[in-house]
């Protein structure tokens, strides 16, 4: 079980807004992802039961949509836009700096668990290019390689200062990928 009774009630209530339960799938998947930082296998069974979809059908949805994920990420997920408005203003260098600062290849969790960096399509922040979105919520605009490094350094110190490490309440209090524990 990954969802408690109250949460299941909440999800049922939301699904009831739609004429067909499967339309609530994205909402349920987001809900689970907010809780765990990703969508674990066990939750897929539960969401499947609520929406009438099989795990394969849910996977079909998850693999299609960029913001849903089956694997854990760092406590801060940084999406750096690489599209044209950002590209003309140095996005390539910003992404490179972010990756370098993370110390691991794109998409992987940094050793201390504090960040994952991903390239992204246009984030709708073209007027603040080059831009990045942190935890699907916090906007970083007018980036430079230095600025993104500084921001990332801030996440590391935040992580060190808080044992719960759920600074924004969204990502990812319960995330503890075995291989990625702070050393």
Q: Answer yes or no whether residue 158 interacts with ligand FES by CB under 6 A.
A: no
Q: What is the largest CA-CA distance in the chain?
A: 50
Q: Answer yes or no whether residue 83 interacts with ligand FES by CB under 6 A.
A: yes
Q: Answer yes or no whether residue 167 interacts with another protein by CB under 8 A.
A: no
Q: Answer yes or no whether residue 133 interacts with another protein by CB under 8 A.
A: yes
144/150 Cα distance (integer angstroms): 10
* Residues whose CB falls within 8 Å of the CB of residue 35, separated by 6 or more in sequence, listed in order: 2, 3, 7, 174
Q: Answer yes or no whether residue 122 interacts with ligand FES by CB under 6 A.
A: yes
Segment 51 to 80, residues that bind ligand FES, using CB under 6 A: none
23/59 Cα distance (integer angstroms): 15
Residue reference for tokens 């994205």: 26
State the binding string over 90-119 for another protein (x if CB under 8 A, else -): ------------------------------
* 138-140 β-sheet, strand order: 115-120, 76-81, 132-134, 138-140
Out of 2, 10, 45, 89, name the contact with another protein by CB under 8 A: 89
Residues that bind another protein (CB under 8 A): 17-20, 22-27, 29-30, 51, 53, 60-61, 64-68, 82-85, 87-89, 121-129, 133, 136-137
């Amino acid at each position: 079980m990954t969802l408690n009774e109250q949460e299941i009630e909440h999800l049922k209530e939301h699904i009831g807004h739609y004429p067909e339960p499967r339309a609530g799938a994205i909402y349920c998947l987001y809900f689970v992802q907010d809780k765990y930082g990703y969508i674990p296998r066990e939750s897929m069974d539960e969401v499947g039961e609520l929406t009438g979809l099989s795990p394969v059908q849910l996977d079909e949805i998850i693999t299609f949509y960029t913001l849903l994920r089956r694997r854990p990420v760092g406590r801060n997920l940084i999406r750096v836009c690489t599209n044209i408005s950002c590209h003309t203003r140095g996005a390539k260098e910003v992404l490179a700096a972010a990756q370098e600062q993370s110390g691991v290849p794109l998409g992987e969790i940094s050793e201390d668990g504090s960040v994952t960096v991903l390239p992204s399509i246009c984030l709708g922040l073209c007027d603040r290019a080059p831009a990045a979105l942190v935890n699907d919520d916090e906007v970083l605009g007018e980036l430079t390689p230095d600025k993104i490094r500084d921001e990332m350094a801030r996440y590391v110190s935040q992580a060190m200062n808080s044992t719960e490490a759920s600074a924004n309440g969204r990502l990812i209090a319960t995330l503890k990928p075995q291989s990625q524990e702070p050393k």
